[in-house]
Chain A
Amino acid sequence: MTETPECAAVRELIPELAAGVAAGDERARALRHVATCTDCNRELDAAAFVVDELLPLAPAVEPPPGFEVGVLAALNPPRRRWPRLLRLAAAILVAMALGGVGVWQATADDRRVADSYRRTLEAANGRYMTAKTFTAPDGSTAGRIFAYQGAPSWIFITVKYGTTAGPYTVRLSTRDGGFQTLGTITVQSGSGAWGRMIDVPVSRIAQVSLTGADDMPCLSADFGPPRST
């Protein structure tokens, strides 16, 4: 085995190559050499093995409640899961709307619907549910957001707008000026759906916005004005 000057230069970089932090041009040059040099290749494999073995030494920590549900919702194809959720959300919304009218009209039938809505929320361990529309820059309705206050609280977003494709970042602002990024909704051919649990009370939400790439419209759903201080 003969160590060339290039071998010496690459060996210097091997710890960073193994850790995946070497800069692009250096990395490309070193990997070209490693592909043709058995000794450097073996050296890189050994360093990468140590790096791989270091990662499991990080302490295992149980994630917050609801993590598994959120991951599984993201893993399973939306077509298989969302229609059922949408139907549930729509049923609750219809019941809520009818329930509100029923109480106002004080008719027996509508009171039954209102009672049904209350029992639905009770069974779902929830307090209330609301829905808002996403408005596109041209003023048209671009989607909807359902927000459910319960244990846990969650939001579910549907987008149906134009023919755009790509990820939108979902951001939530609160009435007291808070701000958080909730995740990413992927829109294909103008359609997409996404949901997750939230740790902000629905009553504190001021706005939820969807921001995409520069050539994509910003969509926003207003829940209420910021609280004056």
Chain B
Amino acid sequence: MASGDAEAAAAFVRRFQARVFGLALSVVGDTGLAEEVAQEAFVRVWRHAATYDPRRGRVATWLLTITRNLAVDAIRLNHKHRSDPESLLRAMYAAPAEDPFETGPYGSDQLRAGLRALPLEQSRPIVMSVFYGLTAKEIADREGIPLGTVKTRIRRGLARLRQELGVTDD
């Protein structure tokens, strides 16, 4: 991947472009801006491929994390503050498309089910934090609820999602 080979680059982009653009669009809510973010994410990953450490996780995870970080930077820079997590949550609850490059759907079914089962008061701040890059303080200010309450709801929600994924402290 680090060789810069044109065919490898084309295969890489085709493999991930729907997921990268979809995530960018989910965060920024604007097609043009999402396109810029997604392109920059591919460029960053491609240029830094030599520094990628497989022990850090899958390439898709790395790419999506970079996409999310760039998208959050973009909404902050463009003052496109998001506070409408319900539509994103609905899209995440929905049955996903099959990933044409893998034998299964996008993402974890267990986690999707876990997210669906969470009370909205927990899933809402989780989405605002993870996808929109808002701090607990910013969420508290926007939602008009105490900071401690926001932190508790996020912590409890993430703990339940951890159980769905089978992550334990053992």
Contact = CB atoms under 8 A, between A and B. Distances in A.
Interface of A: 12, 14-16, 18-23, 39, 42-43, 46-47, 49-64, 67-68, 70-72, 74-77, 180-181, 183
A71 B11 CA distance: 12
A71 B165 contact: no
A75 B42 contact: yes
A58 B158 contact: no
Interface in B69-95: 69, 72, 88, 91-92, 94
15 contacts: A22-B135, A46-B162, A46-B169, A49-B162, A51-B158, A52-B61, A54-B115, A55-B131, A57-B107, A57-B108, A58-B26, A60-B22, A61-B21, A70-B39, A74-B42
A178 to B, nearest CB: 12
Contact of A67 (B17, B134, B165): B17
A67 B35 contact: yes
Interface string B128-143: 0111011110000000
Interface in B25-71: 25-27, 31-32, 34-36, 38-39, 42-43, 46, 57, 60-61, 64-65, 67-69
Interface residues of B, number: 65
Chain A CB within 10 A, most for which of B13, B25, B151: B13
A20 B27 CA distance: 15
Contacts of B96: 57, 59-60
Contacts of B145: none
A75 B46 contact: yes
B157 to A, nearest CB: 9
Given A19-B133, A50-B167, A56 B17 contact: no
Main secondary structure on chain A at its contact with chain B? helix
A54 B167 CA distance: 14
B111 A53 contact: yes
B111 A58 contact: no
A8 to B, nearest CB: 12
Interface of B: 4, 6, 9-10, 13-14, 17-19, 21-23, 25-27, 31-32, 34-36, 38-39, 42-43, 46, 57, 60-61, 64-65, 67-69, 72, 88, 91-92, 94, 96-97, 99, 106-108, 111-112, 115, 126, 129-131, 133-136, 151, 154-155, 158, 161-162, 165, 167-169
Contacts of A59: 22, 26, 91-92, 94, 96-97, 106
A57 B17 contact: no
Contact of B135 (A21, A181, A183): A21
Contacts of B129: 15-16, 19, 21
Contact of B10 (A20, A51, A72, A74): A72
B169 to A, nearest CB: 6
Contacts of B72: 21
Contacts of B13: 68, 71-72, 75
A59 B89 CA distance: 10
Nearest to B168: A46
A56 B64 contact: yes
A22 B106 CA distance: 28
A57 B111 contact: yes
B158 A23 contact: no
